[in-house]
Structure 1
Amino acid sequence: MTTTSLRADGPLAVATRNPRYFTPTSGPRAGRAVYLTGSHIWNNLHDGMGPGPEGPAEPEQLDYDAYLRFLTDRGHNFIRLWRWEQFRSQAAGGNYHLNMEPQPWARTGPGTAKDGKPRFDLERFDESFFDRLRDRVIRAGEAGIYVGVMLFDGWALHLSPAPDHVEGHPFHAGNNVNGTSVTSIDDLQVQPLDPTVRDLQAAYVRKVVDTVHDLPNVLWEVANESAGGGAASEEFAKALGMDEPPVWGDSTEWQYWVIDVVKQHEAACGYPVHPIGMTMQFPVAEQTRVNEPLLRSAAEWISPGYDDEIFSNGRHPMSPGEPPSQWFADPPVADGAKVILSDTDHYAPGQGDALWAWKSFLRGHHPILMDFGLIGGLEPAGASPADTGEPPFELYEPARWAMGDTRRYAERLNLIDTQPDRTTASTGYALVNPGSEYLVLEPHGDGRAFTVDLPAGSYAVEWFGVASRDTSTADPRTIDAAGTAEFAAPFGSGPAVLYLRRIG
């Protein structure tokens, strides 16, 4: 087996001293908190994404080495590695095709699938898919990057344009030689499954685990935005070309089953245990309760969705004129019930800025960015055609650099001993290692003074400009008696971060 630069630290486990973070199970960093952050986009595993509803005969390829350089240049250390289940599909109302290859099953024929290529034999794996998966996880590890291996996708199975949301799937009738026929997401992700479908899925999951179980930089993710037993809004139905909003089943029990399959296979084979995650379901019957199935699950980490009261009754933070979700504008404090990978994909798709990254970090989350700026490539490419809706690459640069900046501070702090706190600083944003370290965000950027509650002692003072990315060191501050100390950023304008470290 090929070794990686992360092997010495072993797989991750939830840190017992601070369950908001992971820690390596062995090696020199065992017991230290691991903070994860990074940009991701749909085609970072498969080939076949590009503008327009139709794709070329040879699917477009992502330069994976360039993607890794893009991430490491910005200080990122996490990839959400996308699984796209269709070999023919679209997104954004047909602005993009996602005809994703390779798929896990061999294309043997006889007969042709919907894309004119040989039909799938669902009892034979395509080893090139699993070879690619292993290779990409290894190369990420060599770059110091952890990988969330997504096992299934839900969003594209019910919320991408018809008919290929189902007819572009290998399990649809006419696309395979095995007689397997699914007609909706319910046939793939709502219990009880047809035994044949269940067995095919379980075999695939075990094959994925067998492929990368020995690599220390692996996390699992069950699925992206599978249905939660709700109906899409009329707005969504119209965008998908449907006459009326459909109602889908609830994938919760199926996702719990996938978690069990992974955990049982790791245990039966004596494999290292890797953390598994469950992410927001959509749509759900009650939006304000969207995160409850995640919290009840056996998953070690979760990516929550918007649960704001204002978005009940079918409202959505993506709709014109709606305010942002709290998860973007003023994130709740992580209570340690689960490790939280806070993904803009689930509450602010298409958005992302530097303040979001810092606010999420200081509330005990791990911010990751659904980076639509990478749809057109890994570097600035000029203006995009208006009909694609493709955001410019530069739009997300502040968020990308800020994620790396938060990681650098996370690695300077004794993060395992910190707690997110709303009250220690008058700004409401602080990571606190009481009596030792204080990291405070002043989010307004108008030069106003703010206060920090500190015990007596002397503190080294460092300032960081969120937008300018400038660092400034001030004279140490001595607090003679425990109480409130006042500070003001030296930059004049722009949000700022204050880092206080006890000295002497």
Structure 2
Amino acid sequence: MTLTPVRADGPLAVSTRNPRYFTPTSGPSAGRAVYLTGSHIWNNLHDGMGPGPDGSPEPELMDYDAYLRFLAERGHNFIRLWRWEQVRSQAAGGNYHLNMTPQPWARTGPGTAKDGKPRFDLEQLDDGFLRRLRERVTAAGDVGIYVGVMLFDGWALHLSPPPDHIEGHPFHSGNNVNGISASSINDLQVLPLDPAIQAIQEAYIRKVVDTLHDLPNVLWEVANESCGGGTVTDEFAAFLGMDKAPSWGDSTEWQYWVIDTVKRHEAEQGYDVHPIGITMQFPVAEQTKVNDPLLSSRAEWISPGYDDEIFANGGHPMAPGSPPSRWYADPPIADGAKVVISDTDHYAPGQGDALWAWKSFLRGHHPILMDFGLIAGFEPADESPAETGVPPFAYYEPARWAMGDTRRYAERMGLIDMQPRRDVASTGYALANPGSEYLVLEPDGTGQEFTIELPTGSYQVEWFDVTTRETMPGEVRSVERNGKVEFSSPFPAGPAVVYLNRVSA
């Protein structure tokens, strides 16, 4: 199976026929389900990420064309285009810096910011940033990739190492000429805001929408992992380089304001409407309710976080010895309340394998990978630089190829009519249009028989090996009476997928 890059026909909207998926609002593909999947990394918009805490005088450049080739080769069609708001910052838990440029505001001075360059004038938007933004979204669209344009970032404002988490931000008093003096994430993402700060944010939001409104491959994202009114343990704070756990507010109402600002501006200007998403907050007061603000929002899509009962009392799936979150190991079925773009960043950062991608797809999600293996570049290497503290490039290859494999099946099937079902197959993983098409995962790879509930008829059978990526055509399977039909993988060992397509009644 091969994939040909397809430019978006029109802006996406949530399908009324199957609200787990988007569909183009116009063009030849209107009415077809759009399935999104792909790898993303922090410097795919800005330059300035590299090993070591300080960085070089000139920001390290990302080879964006090589990034797009990497994505296209593996069959990906979606990225989060990251906003990183600091011109000087570091990664928590990893020895690399993120001194990101360009930023949305002009660097006019007088005076120098913490990074030694001219201070920002927050009343002047930077043409270079806006040009970079449009060029990157356009280039992605040219190779068939949809872009989640991240408007703000919350994570680095409160969860990257101090003091640069705030002192490296343009809104810190030493970095701008406008008298804006933010001292924590609460001053930037927790209502009520200083009216001057909120006005600057609104002008920026509107200008980004103006810059990209005519591009059909755009989705909006409010912010990455903003604060949710909770706290962290002193141990976690120490890991972040803090003396004690700070007090962070709840960004929910601010995020809702961003959603409303985008929607209002699109409506006022008569622009095409693009879906907007809201992602996991951290930390929150009750981890088991982390996804409630997402589901209650006016956003069309969400990226949930871990909400397992086992993490109710301050636990974390990445803590040593912790079990994985259900979102990674046994994802819940997407019920259609929101389109679910399921991101390892929010429940299994640093992890990702082929089985995760297939399980997520067959539960009605759109799996995307927080791909730390790209920190060292887009070509295979024996290992990542030791000082970065992240897995090597090859560690994530099974997940990357699996995401493309799921997309191939998604675009081959009549996905718009298929529903995730636990009851159709004894394995618990199936997308089914009963009586017509079935895609079933056997995740254990033990070679044992499993069953699929089928009505009478004849079905063309095809097998796919999740590990080797080998496709094996099967014979037509005739079912003489409604009921459970036994299947067993033809492959020696490992997880397998079977695709059934009805050929006659």
Deviation at 1:501, TM superposition (A): 0.3
Equivalent runs, 1:253-264 vs 2, <5 Å:
253-264=253-264
Aligned partners of 2:93 and 2:176: how far apart in 1? 27
Aligned partners of 1:132 and 1:465: how far apart in 2? 41
Aligned counterpart, 1:314: 314
Deviation at 1:144, TM superposition (A): 0.4
TM-superposition CA deviations, 1:41-74 (whole Å, max 9, x none): 0000000000010110110011000000000000
Q: Check conservation: 2:51, 2:387, Cα contact below 8 A.
A: no
Whether 1:487 aligns to 2:496 is: no
Deviation at 1:100, TM superposition (A): 0.2
Aligned counterpart, 2:435: 435
Instruction: Tell me the secondary structure at the aligned position of residue 282 of structure 1.
Output: coil
Instruction: Tell me the secondary structure at the aligned position of residue 501 of structure 1.
Output: strand
Q: Check conservation: 2:52, 2:387, Cα contact below 8 A.
A: no
Q: Check conservation: 1:53, 1:94, Cα contact below 8 A.
A: no
Aligned partners of 1:325 and 1:235: how far apart in 2? 21
Aligned partners of 2:147 and 2:118: how far apart in 1? 31
Equivalent runs, 1:357-372 vs 2, <5 Å:
357-372=357-372
Deviation at 1:174, TM superposition (A): 1.1
Q: Check conservation: 1:232, 1:247, Cα contact below 8 A.
A: no
Equivalent runs, 1:7-406 vs 2, <5 Å:
9-93=9-93, 95-406=95-406
Deviation at 1:479, TM superposition (A): 0.4
Instruction: Tell me the secondary structure at the aligned position of residue 232 of structure 1.
Output: coil
Whether 1:460 aligns to 2:460 is: yes
Q: Check conservation: 1:77, 1:146, Cα contact below 8 A.
A: yes
Equivalent runs, 1:468-483 vs 2, <5 Å:
468-483=468-483
Equivalent AA in structure 2 for residue 261 of structure 1: T
Instruction: Tell me the secondary structure at the aligned position of residue 29 of structure 2.
Output: coil
Aligned partners of 1:44 and 1:236: how far apart in 2? 28
Equivalent AA in structure 2 for residue 463 of structure 1: W
Aligned partners of 1:170 and 1:148: how far apart in 2? 23
Aligned partners of 1:120 and 1:394: how far apart in 2? 40
TM-superposition CA deviations, 1:273-296 (whole Å, max 9, x none): 000000000000000000000000
Alpha-carbon spacing, 1:353–1:93, altered in 2? closer, same or farther (3 Å): closer
| TM superposition outliers: structure 1 runs of 4+ over 2 Å | 4-7, 381-388
Deviation at 1:475, TM superposition (A): 1.0
Deviation at 1:385, TM superposition (A): 3.9
Aligned partners of 1:384 and 1:356: how far apart in 2? 23
Q: Check conservation: 1:20, 1:338, Cα contact below 8 A.
A: yes
TM-superposition CA deviations, 1:121-163 (whole Å, max 9, x none): 0011110000000000000000000000000000000000000
Aligned partners of 1:481 and 1:6: how far apart in 2? 44
Instruction: Tell me the secondary structure at the aligned position of residue 196 of structure 1.
Output: helix
Equivalent AA in structure 1 for residue 90 of structure 2: Q
Instruction: Tell me the secondary structure at the aligned position of residue 201 of structure 1.
Output: helix
Q: TM-score, normalised by structure 2?
A: 0.98
Aligned partners of 1:224 and 1:158: how far apart in 2? 11
Aligned partners of 2:381 and 2:54: how far apart in 1? 22
Instruction: Tell me the secondary structure at the aligned position of residue 228 of structure 1.
Output: coil
Aligned partners of 1:438 and 1:62: how far apart in 2? 41
Aligned partners of 2:482 and 2:435: how far apart in 1? 10
Instruction: Tell me the secondary structure at the aligned position of residue 90 of structure 1.
Output: coil
Number of residue-to-residue matches in the alignment: 500
Equivalent AA in structure 1 for residue 483 of structure 2: G
Aligned partners of 2:94 and 2:421: how far apart in 1? 44
Aligned partners of 1:495 and 1:241: how far apart in 2? 42
Deviation at 1:242, TM superposition (A): 1.5
TM-superposition CA deviations, 1:466-487 (whole Å, max 9, x none): 0010011111100001001000
TM-superposition CA deviations, 1:407-440 (whole Å, max 9, x none): 0000011000000000100000000011100000
Q: Check conservation: 2:384, 2:393, Cα contact below 8 A.
A: no
Aligned counterpart, 1:451: 451
TM-superposition CA deviations, 1:355-394 (whole Å, max 9, x none): 0000000000000000000001101222234332121000
Equivalent AA in structure 2 for residue 404 of structure 1: G
Deviation at 1:243, TM superposition (A): 1.8
Q: Check conservation: 1:376, 1:390, Cα contact below 8 A.
A: no
TM-superposition CA deviations, 1:254-274 (whole Å, max 9, x none): 000000000000000000000
Aligned partners of 1:243 and 1:227: how far apart in 2? 19
Equivalent AA in structure 1 for residue 114 of structure 2: K
Deviation at 1:247, TM superposition (A): 2.2
TM-superposition CA deviations, 1:444-484 (whole Å, max 9, x none): 00101100000000000000000010011111100001001
Percent identical:
76
Deviation at 1:331, TM superposition (A): 0.0
Deviation at 1:233, TM superposition (A): 2.0
Deviation at 1:5, TM superposition (A): 6.1
Aligned partners of 1:110 and 1:483: how far apart in 2? 77
Aligned counterpart, 1:6: 7
Deviation at 1:492, TM superposition (A): 1.5
Q: Check conservation: 1:94, 1:161, Cα contact below 8 A.
A: no
Instruction: Tell me the secondary structure at the aligned position of residue 92 of structure 1.
Output: coil
Q: Any stretches of 5+ residues in structure 2 without a counterpart?
A: none
Equivalent AA in structure 2 for residue 106 of structure 1: A
Q: Check conservation: 1:383, 1:392, Cα contact below 8 A.
A: yes
Q: What value does the CA root-mean-square deviation take over the aligned residues?
A: 0.9
Alpha-carbon spacing, 1:240–1:304, altered in 2? closer, same or farther (3 Å): same
Deviation at 1:94, TM superposition (A): 5.5
Instruction: Tell me the secondary structure at the aligned position of residue 174 of structure 2.
Output: coil
Q: Check conservation: 1:154, 1:227, Cα contact below 8 A.
A: yes
Deviation at 1:246, TM superposition (A): 1.7
Instruction: Tell me the secondary structure at the aligned position of residue 223 of structure 1.
Output: strand
Aligned partners of 1:263 and 1:173: how far apart in 2? 31
Aligned partners of 1:131 and 1:385: how far apart in 2? 32
Q: Check conservation: 1:33, 1:416, Cα contact below 8 A.
A: yes
Instruction: Tell me the secondary structure at the aligned position of residue 277 of structure 2.
Output: strand
Aligned partners of 2:176 and 2:73: how far apart in 1? 43
Q: Check conservation: 2:94, 2:389, Cα contact below 8 A.
A: no
Equivalent AA in structure 2 for residue 36 of structure 1: L
